[in-house]
Structure 1
Amino acid sequence: MGTDYSTRTLAAIVLIATVLGMGITARLGMWQLSRAAQKQALQTALDERGHLAPLDDATLARTAPEAEAQHYRPVRLQGEWRPAATVFLDNRQMNGRPGFFVVTPLVLPGGDAVLVQRGWAPRDMADRTRVPSVPTPAGRVEVRGLIAPPPARLFDFAGGAPGTIRQNLDLAAFAKEVGVTLRPLSVQQLDEPADGLSRHWPAPAVDIHKHYGYAFQWFAMCALMAGLYVWFQLLRPRLRRRA
């Protein structure tokens, strides 16, 4: 009697654990699918923004929430370069090649500025401290591009050291350094002045497929639990009794 009771108790515990495990993994799989749906909606919104009319300096965002809503919208700005504040962001790739992102503030008619990612330049492998000479016209210029977040941050061994060559650029600190107010965004330049820079910027995209991959893993774990329970708790005992 005691043995039967213990067997039934153990079977009940295994059943409850299996049901809980399947419920949790199935729920996590559904959550990943919902995240994929959200990212898909975001991707659609980003694609639609790229076809809107260009913004100008008057409609360009002045706050971080406004800037996020304008990411990847076309923009057409007029202003004057601040060539002395040009920075070369190191360890940046374009088309799989290492080099620099060249960034320069563009001072707008109102006196504030926007950081322009002007393009990519290869590094000199013989002298890693040498930067290319990038022609920067004086006077009023027009820049066409896409509004984008500031350049992505990379791990910085130098701890954010200043200089012409840098690993990262913090907008607030850089604004104080150059003495100009920067809008809370950047612009990826798309027009092609004769400056020798490459501008094959990757299309704005969100990582949707990873959520489908995670969902598959959770659903696979759920199915595995169900299969193991059926085999060890139902089929295998019956096969043993028949034998």
Structure 2
Amino acid sequence: MTRARFWVVTAATAVGVAVTFSLGAWQFGRAHQKEALAGAIAARRDQAPLLPSALLAPDVAGQLHSPVRLRGTWVAERTVFLDNRQMGARVGFYVATPLRLTGTDRAVLVQRGWAPRNFERREALPPVETPAGEVELTGRIAPPPAKLYQFGSAGSGAIRQNLDLVPFAAETGLRLLPVTVLETGPASQGLLRDWPETGGRGPDTNYGYAAQWWALSALIAILYAWFQFIAPRRRAPQA
């Protein structure tokens, strides 16, 4: 019975150490990814803005984080408010609106900025201005909006938790590009644009999580060694 218990405890310890060590390694890798992303954004920040034609190139994904200047018309009725997004430690919406590019039949989803949420009337939309007619804006080429965990489907209303470009293109009938544009510049139209360069919390947060997981992994191993080997040997002379 004692031997069986020993192997059960050993197996559970091995699993615990492996899981916590792997989680620490994953957080460490995420920190490196965020540092690389911040470096890529910084390296392209001072480039001259690309023309809208750069978005139509087959290798547009290779232009991620490059500045771009666009001209087009807002598809205001297709504005989406992505819920539970933070800016400046406040929770609200990321506001995204398709922009029909002038001179083409294509559109690009523009992440226009952040707006506060009305927590007393959760169905209320923030007062965001969307100019009519042709507009010009500057931003940087970005991946689709980051996804948060959600229960059930993404929904089809103005307020959503996540947004996938392919289903959204089918829903709207727009020929959406496979990338988005993160609008930059000072606050305007009821929107803030203090975008985090890494798309969320900085790499220091991930380094902290990695250290915590690895510390837990070490603690499990130490407790195993103590109770399975050291403590019994310390008790043996007394017995």
Q: Which TM-score applies when normalising by structure 2?
A: 0.73
1:79 aligns with 2:71: yes
Kindly provide the CA deviation profile for residues 92-137 of structure 1, in whole angstroms up to 9, marking residues without a partner as x. 4433434332211122354322211111222445654354141425
Distance of aligned partners of 1:32 and 1:93 in 2 relative to their CA distance in 1, 3 Å threshold: closer
Q: What is the rounded CA distance, in whole Å, between the counterparts of 1:27 and 1:131 in structure 2?
A: 46
Q: What is the rounded CA distance, in whole Å, between the counterparts of 1:20 and 1:125 in structure 2?
A: 48
- Amino acid in structure 2 at the alignment position of 1:104: T
Aligned to 2:208: 209
Q: What is the rounded CA distance, in whole Å, between the counterparts of 1:161 and 1:33 in structure 2?
A: 34
- Amino acid in structure 1 at the alignment position of 2:69: L
Could you say what secondary structure the match of 1:136 adopts?
coil
**Residue 142 of structure 1 is aligned with which of 133, 137, 143?**
137
Following TM superposition, by how much is the alpha carbon of 1:146 offset from its aligned partner in structure 2, in angstroms?
Answer: 5.3
Kindly provide the CA deviation profile for residues 142-186 of structure 1, in whole angstroms up to 9, marking residues without a partner as x. 3223514324245357x5443434444332222123222222333
Following TM superposition, by how much is the alpha carbon of 1:40 offset from its aligned partner in structure 2, in angstroms?
Answer: 3.6
Kindly provide the CA deviation profile for residues 221-241 of structure 1, in whole angstroms up to 9, marking residues without a partner as x. 11111111234431101122x
Aligned-pair identity in percent equals: 27
Aligned to 1:121: 115
- Contact kept? 2:127, 2:190, Cα under 8 Å: no
Distance of aligned partners of 1:101 and 1:39 in 2 relative to their CA distance in 1, 3 Å threshold: closer
Larger radius of gyration: 1
Could you say what secondary structure the match of 2:227 adopts?
helix
**Residue 147 of structure 2 is aligned with which of 145, 148, 152?**
152
What are structure 1's unaligned runs of at least 5 residues?
1-5
Following TM superposition, by how much is the alpha carbon of 1:49 offset from its aligned partner in structure 2, in angstroms?
Answer: 0.7
Q: What is the rounded CA distance, in whole Å, between the counterparts of 1:190 and 1:124 in structure 2?
A: 24
**Residue 194 of structure 2 is aligned with which of 188, 200, 204?**
200
Aligned to 1:103: 96
Q: What is the rounded CA distance, in whole Å, between the counterparts of 2:9 and 2:128 in structure 1?
A: 65
Q: What is the rounded CA distance, in whole Å, between the counterparts of 1:97 and 1:116 in structure 2?
A: 21
Distance of aligned partners of 1:77 and 1:179 in 2 relative to their CA distance in 1, 3 Å threshold: farther
1:41 aligns with 2:35: no
Q: Which TM-score applies when normalising by structure 1?
A: 0.72
- Amino acid in structure 2 at the alignment position of 1:52: A
Q: What is the rounded CA distance, in whole Å, between the counterparts of 2:236 and 2:150 in structure 1?
A: 56
- Contact kept? 2:144, 2:164, Cα under 8 Å: no
Kindly provide the CA deviation profile for residues 31-63 of structure 1, in whole angstroms up to 9, marking residues without a partner as x. 455434433432231121112335734444878
What are structure 2's unaligned runs of at least 5 residues?
none
Could you say what secondary structure the match of 1:52 adopts?
helix
Distance of aligned partners of 1:154 and 1:231 in 2 relative to their CA distance in 1, 3 Å threshold: closer
- Contact kept? 1:103, 1:118, Cα under 8 Å: yes
Q: How many residues align?
A: 227
Give the alignment's Cα RMSD to 1 decimal.
3.6
